[in-house]
Amino acid sequence: MTAGGALLARLKAIGVDYIFANSGTDFPPIIEGLAEAEAKQVPLPEALVMPHESAAMGMAYGYYLATGRSQAVIAHTNVGLANCAMGAINAAAEQIPVLLFSGRTPTTEKGRLGSRTVPIGWGQEMRDQTALVREASKWDYELREPEQILEIVDRAYAIANSTPPGPVYISLPREVLCEPCPTGELERPLSIAPARAFASPSGLQEAAAVLAAAERPLIIVQRGCGNADGFAALQAIAEDWGIPVLQYWAIQLGFPTDHPMSAGADPAPWVEEADAILVIDAIAPWSPDIHRPAAGCKIVHVGRDPLYARFPIRNFQSDISLVGDVGETLVSLRGAMGPHLATRQTAIDARAASLKPKLRAMRARTLETAQAGGGPSMTKDFVSLKLSQAIAGKDATVFSELGCPLMPLSLDRPGSWYQEPHSGGLGWCFPAALGMQLADRKRLIVATMGDGSYIFSNPVACHQIAEALELPLLVLVLNNAEWGAVRQSVLGIYPGGYAAKTNRMPLTSLSPTPDFTAVASASRAWAAVVENGEDLEATLAAAIDHIETKKTHALVEIRVRP
């Protein structure tokens, strides 16, 4: 078999379901390999045509969130890899193990099958193509011989899925892919097991003692709890010990928003008063320039890489650092805290009795504020509240990229909320939601995003994918006709500055915005515009009804206030 076909067959054997690919002139051996393997009835991942590489990276990301299984992205030489770079940065920041491949310009000008045949064979050559994604990759390699395919693919998969997981990259020269490759062992089991880390028993005991002895403990969770067991364990810790749980800039839901111990998303009332803080998988659990833990406060960090070592500057205090799978660590931590419970029960009961009315009042204010944001100029909180009501009782997952905020939503299960990566590579939401919809066509997937994020997502490409693959996604575009995050950043640093006083802040306006419903309609999506809050509930219901009955995707553009 051609080395291109052997590569694809090996990916299937180790558990890759899909190849998200945007083909180019380096793809003949890949395409020939697909046809050859099909003719010979060799099992292969399903190869999906991606009209843009950013969509390919986003879909691999979303599919992993739904399944926990790494997927492959194959791009066209350096130009395709450049389009993958933002997705690689997002995946690296959020520890998503994508297997990223791209072709490489042939190194030979003549004399070998696969040598350069068109002018771009010269124009696309780089001295260091891997530099485009090296800083976002855990490991990289250039395939040199077809006989390497089994070992290199296995090594790539193992490294990508080792603690902490993340993307890896392999460059594929066309001449190598055109060579014949042995096929005798292509279906053998994975030869290199991913390396997993576990929290040490002594560290767990030390952390348990610190949290159990605290008078004013606090939990901050940012990237979820790893799995359903971890999600349940965190609730049990909060309930058993009367500890408030804060979700600051949450990337994944880690705690039910309506839970009696939910402390919202603002660290300000909590961090400075705490005498012990449990930080769960948070790159930035608070803003050091604003929130300062009290002197003597003991801080425990839990995560697959609790110190986030790949980032040059991150200096949050960590008295105890527990490395390992987050879900397993939380289950173990709950067990380690159990023996301390009886001696602290009186103090715990008093703490819970004091906190619960305060937290209940906070939640009520959040919902009241959201409800008051209706009318002809809606707030994002109002949209979030109405979306929450629209999906109540359904198996639904909400994605948000500067779209619907978390706190007005009523969510109580893991996997029901995802926010944009802290790396800030815009255009993530739409394709990531498509990837999750691909993994589970029966679940209601809602992609909410700002108008700028929607533009960045290459919406024409994403709508084409939704139609071609029959993915019944609900897209909500919250249109404020500006870069709202940029405006808020300016106001945060210069609250009384010239930019704050001007009627039109420089470099923030996106007006006039395109007709987003026309973009969606070009791919036969159901589409509507909502300008008044009074119409939102009925429009969301109609969009969801269309998805559930017609099984095609829908877009609602919602005009919100700046």
Q: What is the pTM of this model?
A: 0.95
**pLDDT tens digit sequence for 39-79:** 888 899 999 999 999 999 999 999 999 999 999 999 999 99
* Res. 427: pLDDT tops 70: yes
Q: Please report, rounded to a whole number, the percentage of residues in the chain having pLDDT higher than 90.
A: 83
Rounded to an integer, the average pLDDT of 75-97 is 97
* Res. 550: pLDDT tops 70: yes
Question: Which of 363, 391, 425 marks a domain boundary?
Answer: 363
Give the phi and the psi of residue 139 in degrees, each rounded to 5. Answer: -160, 150
Give the C-alpha separation, 1 to 325, whole Å. 39
Question: Are residues 399 and 517 both part of a single domain?
Answer: yes
Question: Are residues 300 and 319 both part of a single domain?
Answer: yes
Region of 299 on the Ramachandran plot (φ > 0 left; ψ -120 to 50 alpha; else beta) = beta
Give the phi and the psi of residue 334 in degrees, each rounded to 5. Answer: -60, -40
Give the C-alpha separation, 334 to 236, whole Å. 8
* CB-CB contact of 224 with 270 (8 Å): no
- The label of the residue with tokens 């715990």 reads 348
Rounded to an integer, the average pLDDT of 434-445 is 97
Number of domains into which the chain is organized? 3
Rounded to an integer, the average pLDDT of 523-535 is 97
Question: Are residues 169 and 277 both part of a single domain?
Answer: no
Q: How far is CA 53 from CA 100, 208, 402, 450, 464, in A?
A: 11, 45, 22, 21, 14
Give the C-alpha separation, 491 to 501, whole Å. 10
pLDDT, averaged across the chain: 95
* Res. 184: pLDDT tops 80: yes
Strand ordering across the sheet containing 217-221? 245-246, 217-221, 276-280, 298-303, 320-323
Question: Which of 363, 382, 398 marks a domain boundary?
Answer: 363
Question: Are residues 376 and 512 both part of a single domain?
Answer: yes
Rounded to an integer, the average pLDDT of 512-528 is 95
Give the C-alpha separation, 555 to 561, whole Å. 19
Residue 188 lies in a domain: no
How many CB atoms are located within 10 Å of the residue 524 CB? Answer: 12
**Closest of 423, 483, 422 to residue 455, by C-alpha:** 483
Cα-based angle 278, 293, 297 (whole degrees, multiple of 5): 60
Give the C-alpha separation, 300 to 293, whole Å. 13
**Closest of 61, 92, 96, 73 to residue 447, by C-alpha:** 61
Question: Are residues 160 and 220 both part of a single domain?
Answer: no
Residue 192 lies in a domain: no
Query: What's the pLDDT at 107?
Result: 85
Question: Which of 115, 146, 178 marks a domain boundary?
Answer: 178
Question: Are residues 431 and 452 both part of a single domain?
Answer: yes
Tell me the range of 102-116, 465-479, 507-521 where mean pLDDT is highest. Answer: 465-479
* Res. 402: pLDDT tops 90: yes
Residue 195 lies in a domain: no
Question: Are residues 44 and 68 both part of a single domain?
Answer: yes
Of 55-59, 101-105, 180-184, 415-419, where does mean pLDDT reach its minimum?
180-184
Question: Are residues 230 and 351 both part of a single domain?
Answer: yes
* CB-CB contact of 486 with 507 (8 Å): yes
**Residue 364 binned pLDDT confidence (cut-offs 50, 70, 90):** very high
Give the C-alpha separation, 438 to 473, whole Å. 10
* Res. 508: pLDDT tops 80: no
Question: Are residues 217 and 115 both part of a single domain?
Answer: no
CATH of the domain at 54: 3.40.50.970
Question: Are residues 328 and 264 both part of a single domain?
Answer: yes
Residue 196 lies in a domain: no
**pLDDT tens digit sequence for 230-287:** 999 999 999 999 999 999 999 999 999 999 999 999 999 899 999 999 999 999 999 9
Query: What's the pLDDT at 26?
Result: 79
Query: What's the pLDDT at 483?
Result: 65
Give the dihedral sign, CA 407/227/339/211: negative
Residue 526 lies in a domain: yes
CATH of the domain at 274: 3.40.50.1220
Rounded to an integer, the average pLDDT of 450-460 is 96
* Res. 510: pLDDT tops 80: no
Residue 183 lies in a domain: no
**Residue 498 binned pLDDT confidence (cut-offs 50, 70, 90):** confident
Give the C-alpha separation, 352 to 227, whole Å. 26
* Res. 486: pLDDT tops 90: no
Residue 190 lies in a domain: no
* CB-CB contact of 251 with 280 (8 Å): no
Q: Which residue type, as a one-letter code, is found at position 457?
A: S
Rounded to an integer, the average pLDDT of 376-380 is 92
Residue 287 lies in a domain: yes
Question: Are residues 30 and 106 both part of a single domain?
Answer: yes
Query: What's the pLDDT at 248?
Result: 97
| Sequence-separated (6 or more) residues with CB below 8 Å from residue 148 | none
For residue 42, what are the domain limits?
3-178
Query: H-type helices in 138-200, by residue range?
Result: 149-160, 174-178
Question: Are residues 408 and 284 both part of a single domain?
Answer: no
Query: Tokens representing 78?
Result: 């350096």
